[in-house]
A and B are shown apart, each in its own frame.
Chain A
Amino acid sequence: MNIQRKLLDTKLKIDWLLIILTFLLMSCGIVLVYSATQNSSDVFYKTYWFRQIIYFIVGSFAAAIISLIKIDYFKRLAFPMYFLSLAGLVFILFSGGDLVKGATRWIDLGFFKIQPSEFAKLAYLIVYSHWLAKHPVSFFNLKSFAVPTILFLVPFALVLRQPDLSTALVFIAISLSCFYWVGLTTLDMFLLISPFLSVLLSISKFAYSQFFWGFLICLVTLTLFYRKLPKLVTSVFFLANVFAGYVSSMVWALLKPHQQKRVETFLDPMNDPLGDGYQVLQSMTAIGSGGTYGKGFGAGSQTNLSFLPEEHTDFIFSVLGEQFGFLGSLLILILFFLFLWRALSISKLYEEPFVNLMVVSVTSVFFFHIIVNIAMTLGLMPVTGLPLPFLSYGGSFAIASVVMVGFLLAMRYQGGNR
């Protein structure tokens, strides 16, 4: 009775637009996985599109149930879920897990391979929202960073150890967006990321990078003056920038040529014709050859995409670009943009910090995945191996993505109910 009452009560709050966008994107994903795998000679590959449908159905059911869960339960379950997910990460670290391409990321259940780091992301964003909603961070109170830092470092280190750099970066994206939402100003965020910019500028081969670094230091200095942060924080940021700039260029000089090469390859995959660079070149060629209208569904993959070993997962966007062209890609990008915008706009509706934080962190995860993945297939970013939400094939990730939509629905659905 009670559940039914709620359903009736809040029917108007169901976010149909978000649901429709999700289903549109999932359908496109199935079509693309189908077309990417049908030319394969491996019979197992040919069942991928069907498996993907099953994952989406499983995910949708999960999402539907999650959207009905009271917000209090999210909060209550935050820490237990977090520790459970850590247990999963520790488990694969010690069990050895299933070794794919030199990294252990999966627990094999026989019928399904679980990727604990995908679910750790979910648990992490809940626990972060829960904690930060009650304990906002501020540079004026450094102690406020203590717990968030610990919460961050443990899963981050475990995922990094797998090693799975790209998923580890997602944890950073979640943390930064949450910090931004509670307590830190836009300028604070700039200060927070400035040391990384310093490192990048000081090792880049770009002609005026030294000049830009100087400019960055000036900006940082000005910001620090303007913000009037505590002396300790001010000096830490200033020194971190100067230090990052100098030390990283010194460390860079000390690195052996092959180590430098490895970093350069990561930053610019074209440096490595043996591995990633080749894939990116193929991906760019495939996308570019799609032209404005594309080669049509199922076409083209025979000649070009069979070069790409990851076409149904990380490089699914190249299938899209080749077969559906600029217009098709644009359409998907618009869908993604609408999806993100719609998701973010939930935060406008309510004042409850937990709800807002959940919304922002989920949106950030999607945003990060979308940008990093597509930019990679276009040769704009390093090859990291982050899948594209709703489009890439992959059990754990597909389910986790739909479950995150469930989070969004739950927030929108019940955000007002205290």
Chain B
Amino acid sequence: MYKKASKNEEKQDRNLKILVYLMLMFFFFGVIVSRLFYLQVIQFEENFNRSENNRLRQVILRAERGFVFDRKGRILVRNRPSYQVVLQSMSLPKKKEERDSVFVRLLKIHDLEGKFLFDSLSLDTAFQRANWIRNRPIQILEDATSEEIALIEERSSDLPGVSVLIESRREYPYGTLLAHVLGYTGEISEDQLQEEAYKNYSQGDRIGQKGLEFEYDEEFRGIDGLKVIEVNAAGREVGVIEGMSKEPVAGMHLITTIDLEVQKIAEQAFPDSVKGAAVAIDPRTGEIIAMVSSPRMDPNIFSLRKRDRNKEWAKVALDSTRPLTNRAVAGAYPPASVFKLVTAGAGLEHELIRENTHFSKSCTGGFQFGARYQKCWSSHGNLNVLHALRISCDVFFYQAGLLIDMPRINEFGERFGLGSKPLGVDIPGERVGWLPDSVSFNERNHRTGWRWTRGLILNLAIGQGQLVTPLQQAVFIGSLATNQGVYRPHFMKEIQTVDAKLVKKYEPIKIREGHMKPETHELLLKAMDMVVNHPGGTGKRGAVPGVRVGAKTGSGEWKKGEKTHAWYASVAPLDNPEIAVAVIMEASGGGGAVAAPVAQKIMQKYFDEANKEKETQ
């Protein structure tokens, strides 16, 4: 047990403890003094040289950004080397006169055509900045040509403190091809730096700002490395400090679901003068095979020199046709007559109409509803549902719509991906559609005071008044044809490391039930087939020889006196659908006349490629 120590013992104990404490102090001070002796006396020469003649410098080794490939491994985005001429302020001469002479020598450099490389104003600013920015290089010539580099290099002995750095810049070898999907990179903005999502980024980082570049930035960027180098008085590297380097880890590659060949054809088929979009997807998995948005832009402008970049950027950003918008996912259009498939489907599903249902009023070129006369585009007589779809008769669907009513119709549309729930495609900027009924219509228009009337059903039944995106339209027609569910549309097929090791593989995600009765399915397929393959079908121009294509045309009215928006949504082969295509061409005319040929070319190429593959196997 603990005994109370006597006074004497206590004093002894205390003295012992003071002694132990002093010994500890001796030990630690001894270690420090010997370390000092080692550094300052034994290693003096080495350290002195290092501090005087040579300087240490941290160099950030930028990780190379990952590439983007198409589904067969063909490059869509890569990097190119870019040379920057910089001032290393630590190596610039200290004396003012010598500094000024470097300045003057730089100013005098000109190329063979007599064009000067530097202008005195910006060079002066750079030299000013060099006075207080000591630890990082200051750029004086961006993205220099090899000729310009040669001019600098041959004078390098006269230009202490001026050096050339290589960095890599993004290159989009096909220019405008797929530009809206690929996106572009840009320097991280002040606002982004404040955001939680960018807490691992620092100023000056180039990050994906749009499209896949944005969505998969984490994967693309890799991990920057670093080395500590010794430089001599002129600022040239003379050695690397061992053990202080961290190798950069290159970013990962993205294998997309895009088929470059199909994409090329789609881009060619879609005229640049027409605004609109085209989407091709595989309805079985949601893989996006091609996507076009027009008018186009060239993401390579973001890799240009700052001045050119700003100029080009201003051009596209201020363009009233909005070439930066990806209309395939961010454009919302009335679905037009393509929506008749929904109206018909809902009627069949609820057994309100059947294959042989004929309504009381036949089409005489219009339909009298109360005081209103709703026109049809021709007079078609009294049709059943199949022929009404084939010829896209409005009068049939006016009556069908009134019978079925919007809740049932909208529910059917939502089953197959339409409506205001996003599809979740893996690029930013996706807009959602809108399927109005009496409640949501009044809600949306409560400010203007427009109220729901039953007459609106007439418009909605033929697809005037709703909003869908081209992507939704493709997803819709595709899943309607498979009847196997709606799969999340996506671009990411695989993510691989630089040495082609698989990191992530995309597994299809079912996002809607996408199911209807087999009888309904059968009839809708039959109708879609007739649109293309029946002599009187509106979508004949979408036919592909040897493949059973199904489709629905649409001509959306949007402004009196203007040509209609041309819609064409098709899917093939009907008995086992592999590809669904939606094409919208703004203000271009009838869907069957204008949009169908575009979709036809895309499908044709797709099946050509598929056959080629089969033959080689």
List A residues at the B interface (Cβ < 8 Å): 41, 138, 140-141, 180-181, 186, 270, 273-274, 277-278, 281-282, 284-292, 300, 303-304, 306-307, 321-322, 325-326, 329-330, 333, 336-337, 340-341, 344-345, 347-348, 351, 356, 360, 363, 367, 371, 374-375, 378, 380
Contacts and interface: CB of A to CB of B under 8 A. Distances in A.
A285 B39 CA distance: 8
Interface in B509-552: none
30 contacts: A140-B1, A186-B16, A270-B244, A273-B227, A284-B47, A285-B50, A286-B51, A287-B47, A288-B39, A288-B51, A289-B48, A289-B52, A291-B40, A291-B41, A291-B44, A291-B48, A300-B51, A321-B39, A326-B36, A326-B41, A330-B36, A336-B29, A341-B22, A344-B21, A363-B21, A371-B32, A374-B32, A375-B31, A378-B32, A378-B35
Given A186-B20, A303-B55, A347-B18, A288 B25 contact: no
Nearest to B19: A186
B479 to A, nearest CB: 41
Contacts of A286: 51
A321 B18 contact: no
Nearest to B241: A281
Contacts of B11: 351
Contacts of B227: 273
Given A348-B14, A371-B28, 19 more contacts: A180-B17, A270-B243, A274-B246, A277-B244, A287-B40, A288-B39, A288-B51, A289-B51, A290-B40, A291-B48, A321-B36, A325-B40, A326-B40, A333-B32, A333-B33, A341-B22, A375-B31, A378-B36, A380-B35
A329 B36 contact: yes
B46 interface: yes
B37 interface: yes
B47 A289 contact: yes
B18 A329 contact: no
**Would you call the interface of chain B mostly helix, strand, loop, or mixed?**
helix
Contacts of A274: 226, 246
B2 interface: yes
- By Cβ-Cβ distance, the 10 closest A-B pairs, closest first, are A288-B47, A289-B51, A288-B39, A273-B244, A326-B40, A140-B2, A289-B48, A291-B44, A289-B47, A304-B51
A378 B39 CA distance: 8
A284 B28 CA distance: 18
Contacts of A307: 56, 135
Interface in B207-252: 226-228, 241, 243-246
Interface residues of B, number: 48
B40 A303 contact: no
B131 interface: yes
B41 A347 contact: no
Nearest to A274: B226
A374 B32 CA distance: 8
Contact of A367 (B1, B25, B46): B25
B43 to A, nearest CB: 5
B33 A278 contact: no
B378 interface: no
Interface in B52-86: 52, 55-56, 58
B52 A303 contact: yes
B373 interface: no
Contact of A292 (B10, B41, B51, B55): B41
A333 B29 contact: yes
A344 B20 CA distance: 12
Contacts of A289: 44, 47-48, 50-52
Contact of B44 (A288, A303, A347, A360): A288
Contacts of B244: 270, 273, 277-278, 281
Contacts of A41: 131-132
A347 B14 contact: yes
Contacts of B37: 326
